[in-house]
Structure formats: C-alpha cells, structure tokens
Amino acid sequence: MKNRLACAALIAAVFCIPRASAENWEVSRLVPGSAFHGVHGLGIDKAGHLFAGSVAGAALYEVDIAGGTAKVAIPAPVGMADDIAFAPDGTMAWTGFLAGDLYARKGDGPIRKLASGLPGINSLAFRKDGRLYATTVFRRHAL
C-alpha cells in the first residue's frame, strides 16, 4: 500500500510542478555545420579569439566568430583538446584527454608537453599568478 501511495504522490507532484520558461534567451549560430565532430572545450584569449577543442575530431580549432568559419589551429594527435585555458601571459594550455597529456603554447611558439600519464585529464584553470590547475576524471578523480 505504501508503494502505491508513494507512486501516486510522485506522479501528482510531477504534473503539478510549474513549467520553467526562459523569456529572454536567444540562440546565435556562430559556425554552420562543420568538421568539429563535437566541441568539448572552449577558450577565449585576451584578444577575444575563440578556440574550440574536439576530442572526437582530434584537433583544436580557432573560430572566426564574425566570419562564421573555423580552422585547425593545432592538428591531431596533439590538438585533441578536451579543455582549453589561457594564462595571464597569453599561454594557451589544453588537455589531451585520451592520451593523458597536458600541452601548452605561447603565441606561435613551440608546443610543449607539460605533463603525461594523466588518463582522463579534463578541466583546466589558471590563477592570476599563472599557476595552472588540472583535474582528472573517470579512472581517478583528482585535482
């Protein structure tokens, strides 16, 4: 009897909950269908350039918002970015999620591998002093 009563109460509650609506939202298509194969991470540099990382597409893209186009900024396999972050000095860091690598590049300089052996490396964030934090997920959750 208790299970039937609980089930009836749950169904009644679901139908009595007011529907949420967003009155002032707008969808803006930045880039038409493309070869992204999924965007997993986004980063914006100090100049306002948008970068999109794709694990499935195995590349890191630079997106031209005004032109509605995207180009490969860092190709596979190093460009397979799950997350992207920018340091105060402009250095871009990104995660190589599947390989467990962490990369960085300042401007047009060389790509540096900062760390490896971090399977599931996921999120990145820089402090104002330039210290980089990273998380890992799935196999071992860590910061």
Q: Which CATH class is domain 23-136?
A: mainly beta
Domain ranges of the chain: 23-136
Question: For 60, what's the count of Cα atoms within 13 Å in the CB-facing half-sphere?
Answer: 28
C-alpha span between 124 and 103 (Å, rounded): 11
Q: What average pLDDT is seen over the chain?
A: 82
pLDDT of residue 86: 96
Helices (H), 1-137: 2-16
| φ, ψ of residue 9 in degrees (nearest 5) | -65, -40
pTM of the shown model:
0.72
pLDDT in tens, 87-119: 999 999 999 888 889 999 999 999 999 999 988
Strand stretches in 66-117, DSSP E: 69-74, 81-86, 92-96, 101-105, 112-115
Beta partners for 112? Answer: 104
Least confident of 39-48, 118-127, 133-142: 133-142
Q: pLDDT band at 5, cuts 50/70/90?
A: low
pLDDT in tens, 16-42: 555 555 678 787 777 666 666 778 889
User: What does the pLDDT average to over 45-50?
Assistant: 92
